[in-house]
Chain A
Amino acid sequence: GENVEQHPSTLSVQEGDSAVIKCTYSDSASNYFPWYKQELGKGPQLIIDIRSNVGEKKDQRIAVTLNKTAKHFSLHITETQPEDSAVYFCAQNTGNQFYFGTGTSLTVIP
């Protein structure tokens, strides 16, 4: 299958600081890159996405950047809050299939 690498696997930040999670992918034909937040015991929830014709997208405190040449995309969370603590997954879409990163466990320390 397609390879999506996600880093870091764990991340701890102080409340109010920023958090950045990075993913790289291998399929240059991919054109859709979503990010999901998964809280304990729940299914993943789509929080933001970006398409290949856009370099950056923002939604309040979260933003995603995409570098198609380098085949990487990043999630940025600013002014982190304790409720941002969760596992975050990146994914890429190739045809009808989605390939996920291995997740980043984010802890926001009050």
Chain B
Amino acid sequence: NAGVTQTPKFRILKIGQSMTLQCTQDMNHNYMYWYRQDPGMGLKLIYYSVGAGITDKGEVPNGYNVSRSTTEDFPLRLELAAPSQTSVYFCAIGIGSEQYFGPGTRLTVT
């Protein structure tokens, strides 16, 4: 997974709970991305970052927050979990135009 680590692998949340999905890279790349993948669908970009201290919204940012205080870490925060956020979440790093994905976090909100 190209040096991209995601934790946890699985998580079940109750509606209204909050959690942080962790993403860490050991390759010192500036570009990092968060995607969600719903069953039978492609990936949708939630947020991305072009470097430490810089983040920007993607296609589906509502209900999520991110921070990028270091090059290595790009956590994704869910403040008030909703059933619509049940999905598999993938973090990716960008090397030039190419993207390399982590193994994913499967999140269920009930």
Contacts and interface: CB of A to CB of B under 8 A. Distances in A.
Given A43-B102, A46-B99, A49-B98, 20 more contacts: A1-B44, A1-B59, A6-B42, A32-B97, A34-B97, A41-B104, A43-B1, A43-B101, A43-B103, A44-B101, A45-B101, A49-B97, A51-B97, A89-B43, A93-B97, A98-B43, A99-B59, A100-B44, A102-B42, A103-B40
Contact of A97 (B41, B48, B92, B100): B48
Contacts of A97: 45, 48, 58-59
A42 interface: yes
Interface string B17-48: 00000000000000101000000111111001
11 contacts: A42-B103, A43-B90, A43-B101, A43-B103, A44-B43, A89-B43, A91-B43, A97-B45, A98-B99, A100-B44, A103-B42
A7 B40 CA distance: 13
Interface residues of A, number: 25
| Chain A interface helix/strand/loop/mixed | strand
Interface residues on B, range: 20 to 34
Interface string A66-103: 00000000000000000000000101010011111111
A6 B40 CA distance: 12
Interface of B: 1, 4, 31, 33, 40-45, 48, 50, 56, 58-59, 90, 92, 97-104
Contact of B100 (A46, A93, A101): A46
Contacts of B1: 43
Interface in A3-47: 4, 6, 32, 34, 36, 41-46
